[in-house]
Structure 1
Amino acid sequence: MLGSIYDWPRRRPYVVDGILTAFLGLSTVPTGFATDGVVGGLLSVGMIAPLFWRRSRPARTYAVVALSCFAEVLFLEKPMTANVGYLFILYSVSAYARQNSVRYTALGVGVIGSFLGPLDWGILQTSDDAADVLLPGTALAILVAFIWTFGDLMRTRRAYVGQLEERARRLEFERDQQARLARSAERARIARELHDVIAHSLSVVVAQADGGLYAGEKNADAARTALATIGQTSRQALSEMRRLLGVLRTEGEPDPGPPEGAAPDRAPQPSLAQLPDLIAQVRASGLPIDVRVTGDERPLAGGTELAAYRIVQEALTNTLKHGGPQAAAAVRLDYARDTLNIHVLDNGRGLSAHSDGQGHGIHGMQERIAVYGGVLRAGPRNGGGFEVVAQLPLSAEERRRGAKRE
């Protein structure tokens, strides 16, 4: 509420300046006409009317108002109430003028004018006492210096706020750019991993086809087994190929490839069979982990197991980084009929965990789960700690395998 009230005058400067000009004009111009005739009225207009342009053209507006004040000293025998307009334009030229020469010239003219008026209306007309000039002149000079300094402080503050806003916009842009690059890199990594899974499946198909062809001449049962394996593996490879193409088409972002100077990663892609090794490695780092597997445990497609492995790996890595020295974790795998449910939780710092802003692990898990049309929820737990809950849908072939075991 307070922020909107503060921003309203900044967004509508001409409305604010129009209201100010109208108020000062109605308060001073009629008095000028009534007290000093046409000359006083016109000079009052010259001091007040230009204030409408005090922000957009501060130097020119100041020149008009200052000349009107000088003419007042020349042609009138006493000051007018319209002189208040000079104080507003002095603030404006200090706050909004771009050239320092204009700003300091305005200060000098204001100080000189502070003594010029009392000199004309004091010693030259009604008094021969120097104190009648020095005292009011000094007071007016102090007032001029104060208003000019206040305008300069506001100019400095406005420039500082502008720099902060620009920096915030730049940091937000860089953050979004880093997130896009991280998503692109994660998609490329997923694509490379799925490529290895498909290549492995096709190698199995080729080996089974060659073995089936050889066995078909002597053992019909072995040939049928080989053909069944070929059909099953080919369907899995086709499903993974569709997912791979889906990853490569996402937003049309190119594959950034491995870091410059680094060799491509050709290590075999992990599966849930390597999950005990991962758990042992993390435990060796000092993180206690409780593992439970429920449901009808069975082999799944290579891409599905790879996605599950990576989600558990990333969740445990986040716990190691942010959970704190006393944290403990738990990993739950549930083989349901239609889904593989993954739940990784810890009792670490949760919301109070420090983040350096460089991690994109959750984004990576979201990208990976999206390839399989799954659901991911990651965030602080009620009562403390952090949890990652993922649900990976299973293919028709994987569901059939589960049904056969029942």
Structure 2
Amino acid sequence: MFGKIRAWSQRRRMLVDVLWVTPLIALCAALATTYTQSPANAPVDLVGYLLLSTALLVPLFWRNSHPRSVFALVSLTSFGQWLAGVDAFPANSAVLVAMYAMASRCRFRWALAAGLVSELGIFLALSHWDTVSLGMFLSCSFFVIMIWLTGIYANTRQRYLEGLEERAERAERERDQQARMAAAAERARIARELHDVVAHNVSVIIVQADGASFAIDSDPDQARQAVHAISKTGREALAEMRRLVGVLRDDPAGTAPDAADYTPQPGLAQLEDLVRGSGLPVDLRVTGTPHELSEGEQLAVYRLVQEALTNTLKHGGPGARATVEMEYGMRELVVRVTDDGRGAAAPLSEGGHGLLGMRERVSMYGGAVQAAPRPGGGFEVLARLPVAA
């Protein structure tokens, strides 16, 4: 129940602020006639009372969104009231409300400044009274300090709850990531098994087919047996492939596969979209005459750039920029991804296989990858991929 109330208050923050200030407005309105007609107070008419009360109370509607501005405005208004010789009245409690907002939402140095200004305001307000005493000042100061400490506690608790929520979200992301990594490892194992099954059965089929081709004239029965063996082996291989591919297509929960699993793999045509959606400022530069690359080669280049930009985003630090350069030469395609972040100084994360994956993808097509810190700072990933003449 409290969670629902908190969520509702977060969605309608302005309305909640108005509701909190409404009782104070009602109290000031109810005491307007009593205050202005009392001979003990400094001379002020009803209109001046209402105008001054409005100037003090209306800014409180924005105390949570702009706590420092509201506190400064309310404090300066109260100070001007003191300079004009007008005694304190109920609307001056807006200073304490604004001080609480400062203590509960701003850093400690701002909260401390708000508390000291409020204490000064108490002293100035009591200085108009002839009967003021040290005990009265201490009593008022105790009241102010209690409000200030309550705001500090609310601020600390809010930061603590935000920390808990952040840790919970991070733990959830790490759990999902571990689950995806486990699923990917299992799928890789199944893919290797599929490769072994296909390679073995195709080898058997080739051997039987060669035997049948030699024996078809001299020994028809043996050729017939070889053809039957080819048929049997082909059916078994096809059934095994269907079983393994079905496992690869289905997700771990057994539900229908995602539509994204059947979309074409990205290539160089999607490289600009990757750069724009990388989450950091990236310059893409392409020089030379583009070559015709196979889908596999395009995918390897795409994944290399994606992994390099991901490493920059993770380890480059705030404000890091990256540059993606693709240079088409006569015999090779050079892909260079550089950044000016602190990736070279960042600690190595455990279990990372990004660079290894880059090298494996590019080496499939006879290329090579180098990754190292830059002399002037930052990190560089350089890949050379040979292209057909």
Which of the five TM-score ranges fits, normalised by the shorter chain? 0.5 to 0.7
The alpha-carbon deviation at position 216 of structure 1 amounts to 4.1
Residue equivalent to 1:292: none
Name the % identity: 39
Residue equivalent to 2:121: 113
How far apart are the structure 2 equivalents of 1:205 and 1:74?
Answer: 103
The 1:55/1:22 distance shift into structure 2, 3 A limit, reads: same
Q: Is the 8 A contact 1:195 1:244 kept in 2?
A: no
Equivalent position to 1:92, from 78, 81, 101: 101
User: TM-score when scaled to structure 2?
Assistant: 0.56
How far apart are the structure 2 equivalents of 1:195 and 1:155?
Answer: 59
Residue equivalent to 1:4: 4
The alpha-carbon deviation at position 225 of structure 1 amounts to 2.2
After superposition, what is the alpha-carbon deviation per residue over 1:84-139, rounded to whole angstroms, capped at 9, x for unaligned?
322211110111234x4432221111112222222212x2xxx4xxxx32111111
User: What is the one-letter code of the residue matched to 2:209?
Assistant: A
Residue equivalent to 1:70: 79
User: What is the one-letter code of the residue matched to 1:235?
Assistant: R
How far apart are the structure 2 equivalents of 1:190 and 1:111?
Answer: 72
How far apart are the structure 2 equivalents of 1:76 and 1:20?
Answer: 30
Residue 31 of structure 2: SS of its match in structure 1? helix
The 1:217/1:63 distance shift into structure 2, 3 A limit, reads: same
Residue 79 of structure 1: SS of its match in structure 2? coil
Map residues 243-322 of structure 1 onto 2, 5 A cutoff.
247=248, 250=261
Residue 120 of structure 1: SS of its match in structure 2? coil
Residue equivalent to 1:175: 175
The 1:30/1:41 distance shift into structure 2, 3 A limit, reads: farther
After superposition, what is the alpha-carbon deviation per residue over 1:182-202, rounded to whole angstroms, capped at 9, x for unaligned?
322322221111111111111
After superposition, what is the alpha-carbon deviation per residue over 1:216-266, rounded to whole angstroms, capped at 9, x for unaligned?
445443332221111111122234445666648946799xxxxxxxxxxxx
Map residues 5-404 of structure 1 onto 2, 5 A cutoff.
5-29=5-29, 31-32=31-32, 35-36=35-36, 37=45, 38-75=47-84, 78-98=87-107, 100-121=108-129, 123=130, 127=131, 132-241=132-241, 247=248, 250=261
The 1:209/1:13 distance shift into structure 2, 3 A limit, reads: same
The alpha-carbon deviation at position 21 of structure 1 amounts to 2.6
How far apart are the structure 1 equivalents of 2:101 and 2:264?
Answer: 51
Residue equivalent to 1:303: none
Residue 128 of structure 2: SS of its match in structure 1? helix
Runs of at least 5 residues in structure 2 that lack an aligned partner in the other structure: 37-44, 250-259, 266-350, 352-389
Q: Is the 8 A contact 1:115 1:138 kept in 2?
A: no
Residue equivalent to 1:334: none
The alpha-carbon deviation at position 43 of structure 1 amounts to 2.1
The alpha-carbon deviation at position 148 of structure 1 amounts to 0.9
Residue equivalent to 2:336: none
The 1:253/1:33 distance shift into structure 2, 3 A limit, reads: farther
How far apart are the structure 2 equivalents of 1:134 and 1:146?
Answer: 18
Residue 44 of structure 1: SS of its match in structure 2? helix
The alpha-carbon deviation at position 69 of structure 1 amounts to 2.8
User: What is the one-letter code of the residue matched to 1:69?
Assistant: S
Residue 127 of structure 2: SS of its match in structure 1? helix
How far apart are the structure 2 equivalents of 1:93 and 1:232?
Answer: 81
The alpha-carbon deviation at position 214 of structure 1 amounts to 4.4
The alpha-carbon deviation at position 176 of structure 1 amounts to 2.0
User: What is the one-letter code of the residue matched to 2:114?
Assistant: A
Further displaced range: 39-48 or 134-143: 39-48
User: What is the one-letter code of the residue matched to 2:12?
Assistant: R
User: What is the one-letter code of the residue matched to 2:112?
Assistant: Y
- Structure number with the bigger relative contact order (C-alpha 8 A, sep ≥ 6) is 1
Q: Give the number of the structure whose alpha-carbon radius of gyration is greater.
A: 1
The 1:77/1:207 distance shift into structure 2, 3 A limit, reads: closer
Q: Is the 8 A contact 1:209 1:227 kept in 2?
A: yes
How far apart are the structure 1 equivalents of 2:232 and 2:86?
Answer: 108
Q: Is the 8 A contact 1:90 1:106 kept in 2?
A: yes
RMSD: 2.9
